[in-house]
Amino acid sequence: MGQSSPELPGDTLVSAVDNARRGVVTHITIKGERVAVIVSELTLAMAQLLAVLLTSELAASALPTVLPTAFP
Protein backbone atom coordinates (compact mmCIF):
# COMPACT_ATOMS: atom_id res chain seq x y z
CA MET A 1 0.00 0.00 0.00
CA GLY A 2 1.27 3.47 -0.86
CA GLN A 3 1.91 6.39 1.39
CA SER A 4 -1.05 8.52 2.55
CA SER A 5 -1.30 11.92 0.91
CA PRO A 6 -2.88 14.95 2.57
CA GLU A 7 -6.15 16.35 1.27
CA LEU A 8 -5.72 18.69 -1.71
CA PRO A 9 -6.64 22.35 -1.29
CA GLY A 10 -9.03 23.76 -3.90
CA ASP A 11 -6.34 25.57 -5.90
CA THR A 12 -4.30 22.36 -6.16
CA LEU A 13 -7.36 20.49 -7.41
CA VAL A 14 -8.00 23.16 -10.05
CA SER A 15 -4.34 22.90 -11.08
CA ALA A 16 -4.64 19.11 -11.37
CA VAL A 17 -7.74 19.52 -13.54
CA ASP A 18 -5.89 21.97 -15.79
CA ASN A 19 -2.95 19.55 -16.06
CA ALA A 20 -5.23 16.65 -16.96
CA ARG A 21 -6.81 18.69 -19.76
CA ARG A 22 -3.36 19.22 -21.24
CA GLY A 23 -2.61 15.50 -21.08
CA VAL A 24 -0.46 15.60 -17.95
CA VAL A 25 -0.88 12.49 -15.79
CA THR A 26 -3.19 13.13 -12.85
CA HIS A 27 -3.03 11.23 -9.56
CA ILE A 28 -5.60 10.78 -6.82
CA THR A 29 -5.40 8.99 -3.49
CA ILE A 30 -7.76 6.05 -2.99
CA LYS A 31 -7.71 4.37 0.43
CA GLY A 32 -4.24 5.76 1.07
CA GLU A 33 -2.78 4.64 -2.26
CA ARG A 34 -1.74 7.20 -4.88
CA VAL A 35 -2.87 6.10 -8.35
CA ALA A 36 -2.80 7.58 -11.86
CA VAL A 37 -6.23 8.22 -13.34
CA ILE A 38 -7.87 9.07 -16.64
CA VAL A 39 -11.20 10.82 -16.26
CA SER A 40 -13.81 12.22 -18.64
CA GLU A 41 -14.03 15.91 -19.51
CA LEU A 42 -17.36 16.10 -17.64
CA THR A 43 -15.76 14.71 -14.47
CA LEU A 44 -12.95 17.24 -14.77
CA ALA A 45 -15.47 20.06 -15.17
CA MET A 46 -17.44 18.89 -12.14
CA ALA A 47 -14.26 18.66 -10.04
CA GLN A 48 -13.33 22.20 -11.03
CA LEU A 49 -16.83 23.43 -10.15
CA LEU A 50 -16.65 21.67 -6.78
CA ALA A 51 -13.28 23.27 -6.05
CA VAL A 52 -14.77 26.70 -6.77
CA LEU A 53 -17.82 25.96 -4.62
CA LEU A 54 -15.61 24.90 -1.73
CA THR A 55 -13.98 28.35 -1.71
CA SER A 56 -17.38 29.93 -0.97
CA GLU A 57 -18.46 29.58 2.65
CA LEU A 58 -22.14 29.84 1.70
CA ALA A 59 -21.87 27.24 -1.08
CA ALA A 60 -19.75 24.89 1.05
CA SER A 61 -22.28 25.06 3.88
CA ALA A 62 -25.06 24.02 1.47
CA LEU A 63 -23.18 20.95 0.14
CA PRO A 64 -24.34 18.51 2.86
CA THR A 65 -27.92 19.28 1.83
CA VAL A 66 -27.54 19.21 -1.95
CA LEU A 67 -25.07 16.34 -2.45
CA PRO A 68 -27.51 13.56 -1.47
CA THR A 69 -29.93 14.94 -4.06
CA ALA A 70 -27.24 15.24 -6.73
CA PHE A 71 -25.80 11.79 -6.01
CA PRO A 72 -28.67 9.57 -4.76
Q: What pLDDT is attached to residue 1? A: 47
Identify the pLDDT of residue 35: 85
More confident residue, 13 or 50: 50
Residue 32 has pLDDT above 80, yes or no: yes
Average pLDDT of the residues in 11-28: 71
State the Cα–Cα distance between residues 22 and 65, nearest whole angstrom: 34
Answering whether pTM is above 0.85, one says no
Residue 8 has pLDDT above 70, yes or no: no
Average pLDDT over residues 18-46: 75
Q: What angle do CA 71, 26, 66 make, to 5 degrees?
A: 20
